[in-house]
Copies of this chain bind each other. A is one copy, B any other.
Amino acid sequence: MKFLHTGDWHIGKKIKEFGLEEEQQAAFESIRQIAQENQVDAIVIAGDLYDSSRPTETAVSMLNQMLIQLNIKDEFPLIAINGNHDSAVRLGTGSQWYQATNFYLNTELKKAFEPVEFEDTEFFLVPYFKIQAARTIFGKDYQDIASAMKDVVAACEANFTPNKKHVFVGHFFAAGSTRTDSDTATEVGGLGAVPIDLFENFDYVALGHLHSKDALSAQMVKYSGSPLKFSASEANNQKGVWIVDTDTMRVDFVDIKPIHDLKRIKGSLDELTSTEYKVKNDLDNKTFVAVTLTDKEPQVDAFSRLSATYPRMFSLKMEAIEKDFGGKNVVIDSPDKVAPTEMMDIFFNEVIKQPLEEDNRKLLLETLKEAEEE
């Protein structure tokens, strides 16, 4: 069989104040098209369907329509679990009825060990779970998620039908095969890391949680990544879905091009606000932009000029501050006892490492006065 592996849709997410309805709808249409073009037999969604455990009505309505489209209208079998962003109870509403149309949505750990079977393949649907759920099921006092996952995996393996392919669908932080892997931490998003060697008896592990498809280097343990870039750290990510063929165990990545990209840009204020720069770098008014300014001096009109140039700027940093600041805080013992003007001086002397110039001081004082009057 052939299936499409996606996840981390985060329906309802905003980037700063900017809603993503249009972008998420377009990414969904791309997934649909990829599924049709590749004639997949099922679509796997590995958790974090919603961005929030209490999604808005708009988000609920949007995800409902997407699932109706894929499962009822297009008649794709669906395989899904909740992620840490979803409420298992809210997302799970209706799931007992969904199975009649081959929509398998599991939000309960205790139901993970009976596989869902499609042709030659058994899918084990392991939702995001808290360690307490595993303690209740297995009666052991696990101290970390990796030990709990070991028993979850064993419980799945106990139900393997030989000569079938076995796919594990999960939502957690998987680390390299050893805990000393240089680019992994032991905690991400509050989930302990799970070493990927645990899953060696599975033919494929379809993961959600990390937003980069390249988070793991293993051949058969994959994060799908999110279908859209959601933060500056994902600006250079390649987004899309995996197409997995269980006959050949070939795994292909198919790109999703966003209708509005998310980019990091860096330069001086004059450079970045020039029309040439925008055109040359293929930036339009709907591009989500994270700006790093290279000007040495603070530019008082930086925010307004950049916002006018990039209406969807969601982050603004100064390289000079990042460098000198070195990520450390200047600690002021009792900030409520420091006058705003004094605070300004501390900021310029300690952080910018240059005293506040008289012109700028005057401007800041005026602004402060206006703010107080308001």
Contacts and interface: CB of A to CB of B under 8 A. Distances in A.
B72 A93 contact: no
Interface of A: 54, 57, 60-61, 64, 68, 72, 87, 89-90, 92-98, 100-101, 103
A54 B96 CA distance: 22
Contacts of A87: 57
Interface of A is mostly: helix
Contacts of A100: 97, 100-101
A266 B32 CA distance: 66
Contacts of A93: 60, 64, 93-94
Contact of A97 (B60, B89, B98): B98
Contacts of A97: 72, 94, 97-98, 100-101, 103
Contacts of A90: 57, 60
A225 to B, nearest CB: 27
A86 to B, nearest CB: 11
Nearest to A105: B94
A87 B57 CA distance: 8
Contacts of A60: 89-90, 93
25 contacts: A54-B54, A57-B87, A57-B89, A57-B90, A60-B89, A60-B90, A60-B93, A61-B89, A64-B89, A64-B93, A68-B96, A72-B96, A72-B97, A93-B93, A93-B94, A94-B94, A94-B95, A94-B97, A94-B98, A97-B98, A97-B100, A97-B101, A97-B103, A100-B100, A100-B101
Nearest to A63: B93
A95 B67 CA distance: 12
Contacts of A57: 87, 89-90
Those 9 A-B pairs whose CB atoms lie nearest each other, nearest first: A94-B94, A97-B97, A57-B89, A100-B100, A61-B89, A60-B89, A93-B93, A68-B96, A97-B98
**Max chain B C-beta neighbours (<10 A), residue from A61, A90, A97, A101:** A97
A97 B103 CA distance: 10
A92 B72 contact: no
**Max chain B C-beta neighbours (<10 A), residue from A57, A60, A87, A94:** A94
A248 B331 CA distance: 82
A90 B93 CA distance: 10
Contacts of A61: 89
A96 B68 CA distance: 8
Nearest to A91: B93
A163 to B, nearest CB: 33
Nearest to A92: B64
Contacts of A54: 54
**Max chain B C-beta neighbours (<10 A), residue from A57, A61, A96:** A96
Contacts of A92: 64
Contacts of A98: 94, 97
Contacts of A72: 96-97
A100 B64 CA distance: 17
A257 to B, nearest CB: 30
A95 B65 CA distance: 11
A60 B97 CA distance: 16
A100 B87 CA distance: 26
Contacts of A96: 68, 72
A66 B269 CA distance: 61
A168 B103 CA distance: 33
